[in-house]
Structure 1
Amino acid sequence: MERMEECFRWYGANDPVPLAHIAQAGATGIVTAIHEIYDGSAWPDEAIARQKAMIEGAGLRWSVVESIPVHPSIKLGTAERGRYIGNWKDSLAALARHGIGTVCYNFMPVVDWTRTELRHPMPNGALALRFDAVDFAAYDVFVLKRPGAEGDYSAARLEEAKARLAGMDEAAVARVERNLIAGLPATEQKYDRAGFLKALAAYDGISPADLAENLNHFLRAVVPVAEELGINLCIHPDDPAFSLFGLPRVVSDAGDVRRIFSAVDTRTNGLTFCTGSFGTREDNDLTAMAREFAPRIHFTHLRNVTRESDGSFHEADHLGGSSDLPAVIQVLLDEQARRRSEGRKDWRIPLRPDHGHLMADDLTKDRINPGYSLIGRLRGLGEIRGVMHGIDVARRMQ
């Protein structure tokens, strides 16, 4: 049995993890983007060529684009969205000219992946990313003072949040605010408090149904272009897979994915199966979802989260946490074998270990992208590789 394509996320020439170290981890593919262009402009050929040359110069392959930013006008459905959809199509065409055939993107409004804590201590001394639901409510209601925020929380949660804030000093509040709105890796926009409130206000009156229709409009425009170019598109789920700051979410559960697939019912319109994002919801059966959506899973993020009783969660060991990652991997390997039996050239599914713990020598480094240190992801990749090898051995012994 062939393993899935092992990839690493890389943030370009300024990434503190160099390509040479990624190659030493045993990965063969790179997941990256033209990170300096995030304003909705089309990506120029020369920027793509330069990035690709660096990757190939290290003996690696640019396997997946993550992500071409989706301009807010597209999510809001404003009059100028046509221009930015056109730029998105132009970026697809440029990527196709350079032989890159998989593009991941997301449709999360205002905030990308969101955590309140970037250095949560684990029992073994490693540090993890964490979303604290009480800290989040305390910031949203009593620090940010988002209009109408109180209505999004129970009375009990508001009391918890008020007590939590009372026990936080200014530095703790500033740290939570920085983590929530000042920008994590791959975030397209960094905000101050006033700017963040303004960005949120733009979505006043935009319901989940409205956002879903704006996504459908986008898909109807770009999927036929991607199909003609031979590029697979794969939307990333919301992270976490529930509403934040009163914003609508439209890629959070199986029903959302079915709706997205039906909007443009072609294999090109696919999914990035992120076990961590979908795993933040107890009602998401990851194995069943992987099995149902397997034919249109073009890329996967393999990580695990531990859900906590109060709605919080933290990034767990890849083979720990609340989700059965080996069961999902088995489904994906089965799908990969099915594709290969059909004679497809694109049968291999790229994976990347996501959001590793900060551990060992990385704990002392001055510059680390939260969630994207080398050693934690290397450990995750090793565990995932071991699961794939174990499944292969077990099947050969049957």
Structure 2
Amino acid sequence: MPTTSAYSSDGTHYAVGFANGFITIFNTSKWTAAYSFKGSKKSITAIAFSPNQELLVFGDMLGEIKIRIVAGDTSTEFVSFQAHADCISDLVFSPSGEQIATASLDNKLGLWDVKSGDRVWSKSKSRRHEGASSVAFSPDGTQVASSGSDNVIRLWDIASGKCKGELMGHDGPISKVLFSPGGHQLASASSDKTVRVWSVQKRACENTFSGHSERVTSIAYSPDGQRLVSCSEDSTIRTWDPRSGGTGPIYRGHKDCVVGVVYSPDGKQFASCSRDKTLRVYECRTAIKGAVIFGRTNTISSGRYPYSTVKRRDDKNDKNTTSQPTIQNPRAATSTSSPFQGNGRVTRSPD
């Protein structure tokens, strides 16, 4: 079962981690699996490419981090280290590619040196032991944001490791936090069924987007920062204007919880994956059509366009097997006639 994925910054490669510990790298020029390797004895839970695309980092259920050197359609192990005492829930490279920030179910955040694997600092998210769910670097690399089950977003100074401030307003656990491409805003998704956009400078909520009827599972900014996409357990995908507070198209079609959504690096498409075992790819210009991709028979947990034949090793039968996803005809999704017209509710703060 796929559990996590990452796109290289130039869009040429796409990495997928699986519950059996394998990782498959896709070459997106032909949408074929370039190679696979055994990354862990346990499930791969988080994965990311470095900004220069030369390194691939991933974490697992045991709290271990591994970094591999990527060269074309091959990779070799570079360094590995025990980062946390529990599952790695999220990880991200710094903009410089010299550090990695991690969030874990052991309730801690970590900052690590890429070359040595040494810990720069480690912080407890809160006094509550419910785990850290997400971590994000600011575009300038000076701070990280973290979120978790205590409903609070925290901003941490990279140099000192000190907490610079807290953002409060959500009424439920926060599943994802993300800086805007320009770094002036911070977006968050929560089980309180809302998406919030915050001013980083003012440390105040600027917009609250309501419309989802269940927990919001993930969010993604378009590369130009002009759109924000959210997905939810209510099986829908919604689009928002994070600057003006406007609302955009609602995409329906998934039959179960949508667990992940992501923009392609060129911003022309976004993809969604769902527990209904499908992946949909939407063209942003048309805004209403999405190619429906059926993956493996197991539930898809997150992904970016893995519509290709995947050769993998069957540990139980000790043989290679092939899974062939099926591409269906594009199906129209429900949307407004023009972008960012009243779908859902937007509440602006007095600020």
Normalising by structure 2, we get a TM-score of 0.32
Asked which structure has the greater RCO (Cα within 8 Å, sep 6+), the reply is 1
